[in-house]
Structure formats: C-alpha cells, structure tokens
Amino acid sequence: MQQAKPGRAIPIALNPRPEIEIEAAPVAAALGLDVETFLTLLAQRKIDQLCERGTGDDAGLYRASYYYRHVRARVVVDQQGRMQGEVERRGR
C-alpha cells in the first residue's frame, strides 16, 4: 500500500466496482436537454458527474449527480439502476 503525501490524492479502489445504468431521459430533462444532446455532452465530458455510495441505512443505494452549466441534477438509484424518487434539479 502506498502512503499518501501531503497535497496528493489518495487512491481508493472499490471491489467489486459496480456498473450501474441510469435512465438518461429524466436526468436529461432535469438539465433542460434532450436525450441525444445529453449523451453527446456526457461523452464529450462537458457534463460533470459524481457518484456516491450510500452507507448505514442507505447501504445499497447510490446518489448520482450531473452538473451542466449552472444546473445540478441528482438522482438516487438502487444497485439495478432503479430510481428511488424523482430527479432533484437545483441551480448551482
């Protein structure tokens, strides 16, 4: 195991690393985009994304956040990618 030096990132490996597919349409709509444009911008890395894994009572859930311009779309999904509630839309 490598020791972290001050000011450097600490690598974290999750094993197993889950691959979860999330339906694009609700997220795209929350960002004010059509699905095709959303997927294109995502592939071009013009939409930032963050995925957080739940712990404790939220174990087995994942919160995915998508950032485009001044808007954040956030959705909570289970391990199969099923949405748990609505997509939350918020300005930055």
**Is position 53 within any domain?**
yes
Percent of the chain with pLDDT over 90: 72
- Domain membership flag for residue 80: yes
DSSP H helices, the chain, are 24-30, 35-43
| Residue 9 falls inside a structural domain | no
Please count the structural domains in the chain.
1
Q: Which range marks the domain in which residue 70 is found?
A: 24-91
Q: Which one-letter amino acid corresponds to residue 75?
A: V
81 inside domain: yes
pTM for this structure? Answer: 0.80
Q: What angle do CA 17, 18, 19 make, to 5 degrees?
A: 120
pLDDT at 18 exceeding the cut of 60: yes
Q: What digits encode the pLDDT tens for the residues 47-68?
A: 999 999 998 899 999 999 999 9
